[in-house]
Amino acid sequence: MDKAESQLPPFVRCWKICCSLIFLLCLPLFAFGADEFRILVVLSESMTPYQTFAKAFQQNLPSNFQVRVLDHPEGFSAEDARADLIVTAGVKATDLMMNKAVPVLAVMIPSTKYVDLLEKQNRAGQISAIYIDQPLSRQVALLSAVLPESKRVGVLYSAESRIDLKDLHSELDKQGYKLVAKQVQGSETLSSGLDEVLEHSDVLLAIPDSNIFNSSYIRNILLSSYRRHIPLVGLSQAYVNAGALCAIFSTPEQLAAQASAEAILFAQTRHLPGPQPPAQFTIAVNQDVARTLDVTINPPNVLHIQVENIARVRR
C-alpha cells in the first residue's frame, strides 16, 4: 500500500476494496454478455399458437443466444431496446415494434398485412418477414394433387382483400384450372355471392380474407358448399376440423424453425433477407368429408410429396 493510500480513512479504503471485488466478480458476466446475441420475442397475445412458436424458437437457438419473451407488446421497456433483434409473432406485435430502433423479423403475419405496415416505415434492410400464408403456387399444387379433375375453382373475396387475382388466375391457368371469382361485401351479399360461385365451381378455395373467412361466416360457407357436394380447401387445421376437405398451412413449430435459422444468420451477418413465404408446410385431410363427397384422397404424407413435386416442376 503506498503512502497516499494509507492516509485514506479506513471506510474509504474499505469502500474501494469492495468496489474492486465487485468489479472482479462481475468480469466473467460482462465477458459472457459480450458474446451473447440478444433477441426479444414479442407475441401479439398470450395464446397457444404464439406460445408454441416462442418455445420452439428458443429451443432451436444456440446456448449463447439470450432470449426474452414478451407475452404482450405493451410490455416493451427501455431495457428491451438493447436487443440485437426483435422477432414478432402476429400482426399486433409487428405493428407496435416496427418503429423501434432495432431490426425486426416479423413472423406469423399475412403478406398483405406486412405490406400495409411496411408502407408506414422507412427502414430499408431493417425489417423483414416470414409470412404465414402459403404461396399461390403451393395452394394450386394442392388442388392439383387432391382434385385434378375439378377444374373450376371458386373464390370469394371482399373489397378490402389484397389478393392478386391476376396472379391467382395465372397460377391456376398453368395447371389447367379456371378461376370463378366473386366479390362480396358482408352478410348482405355473401349468401347470394356464395350461391353464384358454388353454382359454377367444382371446388371452393379459401383465401386469407378475414372479412369473409371468419368465425361469423365460415360455418355457413362450409354448410352451403357441403350441401352442394362442393369441397372446400382451407387455410388451417381448424378448417379441416370444421369440415373442409383439406388444408395446407405452416405450423408454429415450422415457422419457428425458419425464424431461428434467420436469426442465427443475422447474428453472423447483421443482414436481414427479403420477406419470404414459409419454407415448410403441413397438409391436413378430413377423410370423413372425403367419403361423404365421394372424393378419393391420399394421406397427408403422400400429398406433401406430390405438392413438392408439382411446385418444383412448375417453377
3-state secondary structure of 7: coil
3-state helix, strand, coil in the chain (%, to 5): 50, 20, 35
Q: At what angle do helices 218-227 and 186-199 cross, to 10 degrees?
A: 20
4: number of Cβ within 10 Å = 7
Architecture of the domain made up of 136-249+281-314: 3-Layer(aba) Sandwich (3.40)
| Phi and psi, residue 87, nearest 5° | -115, 120
Residue with cell 419473451: 69
**What is the per-residue pLDDT for 35?**
63
Long-range Cβ contact pairs of 158-165 (< 8 A, separation 24 or more): 158/183, 158/184, 158/185, 158/186, 158/209, 158/211, 158/212, 159/183, 159/185, 160/209, 160/211, 161/112, 161/207, 161/209, 161/211, 161/212, 162/112, 162/115, 162/116, 163/112, 163/207, 163/208, 163/209, 164/136
- Hunting for cell 408446410 — which residue is that? 281
CATH topology of domain 36-132+252-269: Rossmann fold (3.40.50)
Q: What is the pLDDT of residue 226?
A: 94
pLDDT of residue 314: 66
Tell me how far apart the alpha carbons of residues 280 and 70 are, in angstroms, rounded to a whole number. 26
Per domain, the residue ranges of the chain are 3-33, 36-132+252-269, 136-249+281-314
For residues 180 and 173, what is the distance between their CA atoms, to the nearest angstrom?
12
Cell numbers placing 203: 371446388
The type of residue at 306 is Q
pLDDT of residue 233: 98
Report the C-alpha gap between 231 and 224 in whole angstroms.
Answer: 10
Burial of residue 24 (CB within 10 Å: 0-12, 13-18, 19+) is exposed
**C-alpha cell recorded at residue 60:** 432451436
Mean pLDDT by groups of 10 residues along the chain of 315 residues:
44 42 38 69 96 98 95 89 96 94 96 88 85 95 96 93 90 95 85 95 94 90 95 96 97 99 97 96 98 96 96 72
pLDDT at 312: 80
Rounded to the nearest 5°, which phi and psi values hold at 126?
A: -105, -5
- The pairing of strands 152-157 and 203-205 is parallel
- In this structure, what are the phi and psi dihedrals at residue 157, rounded to the nearest 5 degrees? -145, 155
pLDDT at 132: 97
Residue type, 223: L
pLDDT of residue 4: 44
Would you say the CATH fold of 136-249+281-314 matches that of 36-132+252-269? Answer: yes
pLDDT score recorded for residue 311: 80
